Amino acid sequence: MPIQGYHSLRNLVKLSKLEIPQDILDVIEPIKENDAAIRQYGIDQAVKMMQELFNSGEVFGLHVYTLNREVATMQILKRLGLWMSEPRRPLPWKMTANHMRKEDVRPIFWGSRPKSYVYRTQEWDDFPNGRWGDSSSPAFGELNDYHLFYLKSKASKEQQLKMWGEELSCPEDVFEIFTCYLSGEPNRYGTKVTQMPWNDTEVTGETALLLDKLMSINKRGVLTINSQPNVNGQPSTDPVFGWGPPGGYVYQKAYLEFFTSRENVAALLEVLQEYPQINYHVVNHTGKDDITNADRLKPNAVTWGVFPGSEIWQPTVVDPISFMYWKDEAFGLWTNHWGDLYNEDSKSRQIINYFHDTYYLVNLVDNDFPKENILFELIEKMLERRAVKETTEEEPSFDQVEAEHFQKKIKLDSDENSKDPFPNGVK
């Protein structure tokens, strides 16, 4: 361990009952108030010692203790030429520290909630390896309140209210929160929205590339919670998209996942007829509406890599069965993370319930990854089509929906209503 500071050195000496050599003390004592100087001296000393040891020809490895202070160690390794200039992501998602989990494939859905995925798969004996495979029933742990609570955001209720709105008066207020999360601009309460119930952290590098397009559709009620651009063979060392060992090539299919209204979904299902290269999956919170053109037992690899001397790595899939498990969690987050912030009979709470009860969760994969990402064009067409339908079909306002919906909630959930919500849609 390099000398990191005057006081830590004193403590270590006391604990180890060793004496500090006089020539070191001679240097350190006069600068004992200057932490930076002592740390620099510690680095210099360590580099010198390690070089001597390596040059002796007797020593083939050294163990450096960091005790959670990695800066000096990084400096030392850089000076010794042992530091990889760009520490690589081994896989596109963050791996867990638990080495018992020998996994290298995950569904994309938990991309922003890796802790939840780890929690819900903690009972698995075997993890998918090499590929997700044809699993007719991945046994995800039951979703329960404990789980939703346990994995709740670390922000306080006050912080959350400031981010997600102390009072919501219409659905557009919610659109605005989603948009602020993406833009990084403060919301109307002057607070930055640094997390969302579906995203533990701020917007990351990859999403940033789609930011303008995402903001534009969120404003209009396409509430995105996950996305990735297409990638056609970027080097595995690419700073944004790269992962895995050097010398490989990485690929992605464009992906978009969002909540949107029943009317938008009806328009979407019509527009999708013109886009055979797109896989879609649409569900409501009960799962009674469950519409997809994908094979229900076949995962779709949406991130993969080709590396020297390996089979193809395919670490991220869109899996129709996992999506149904994720759906419960994604809808649950509306009410358990967001709605719970408000009084039970407040309008704000009603609005969040309205999203939970009437919105659909949609995922879209553009399979034609070498061509331009067509998903946003598709969304624009959906919004156009919906606008046309509105002028002819007269859409009810939120207040009307509210009146009908909350007063007749039981009826809305009945079988009759859910039987065929999209007579023009693809089943």
Binding region for its own copies (CB under 8 A): 130-133, 232-233, 247, 249, 251, 276-277, 279, 294-295, 298-301, 304, 306-312, 314, 317, 365, 367-370
- Both tokens of 202, joined, read 């701020």
Residues in the chain: 427
Query: Which CB sits closer to its own copies, 200 or 368?
Result: 368
Q: Which of 230, 253, 246, 254 is nearest to 306 (CA)?
A: 246
- The minimum distance between CB 306 and its own copies, in angstroms, equals 7
Sign of CA dihedral 148, 149, 155, 157: positive
Q: Which residue type does 352 have?
A: I
Exposed e or buried b per residue across 213-246, where buried means at least 16 C-beta atoms within 10 angstroms of its C-beta: bbbbbbebbbbbbbbbbbbeebebbeeebbbbee
Residue placing its CB nearer to its own copies in the complex, 134 or 404 = 134
Beta-bridge partners for 228: 255
| Cβ–Cβ < 8 Å for 76, 53 | no
Minimum CB separation of residue 288 from its own copies in Å reads 23
Query: Which lies closer to its own copies via its Cβ, residue 42 or residue 299?
Result: 299
Residue 325 in contact with residue 142, Cβ under 8 Å?
no
Q: Which residues of 81-111 are buried (b: 16+ CB within 10 A; e: fewer)?
A: eeeeeeeeeebbbebeeeeeeebbbbbbbbb
Q: How far is the CB of 301 from its own copies (least distance, A)?
A: 5
Rg value, the chain, Cα: 27
Q: Which is nearer to its own copies, 251 or 334 (CB)?
A: 251
Least distance in angstroms from the C-beta of 320 to its own copies = 9
The residue (of 114 and 133) whose beta carbon lies closer to its own copies is 133
CB of 258 to its own copies, least distance (A): 20
Q: In angstroms, what is the minimal distance from the CB of 339 to its own copies?
A: 35
DSSP string, 237-274: T-TTT--SSTT-EEEE-EEEEEEE-HHHHHHHHHHGGG
Beta partners for residue 284, in sequence order: none
Q: In angstroms, give the least distance from the CB of 297 to its own copies.
A: 11
Question: At closest approach, how far in Å is the CB of 343 from its own copies?
Answer: 45
Comparison of 102 and 288: residue with beta carbon closer to its own copies: 102
Closest to its own copies by CB, 54 vs 249, is: 249
| C-beta closer to its own copies: residue 186 or 247 | 247
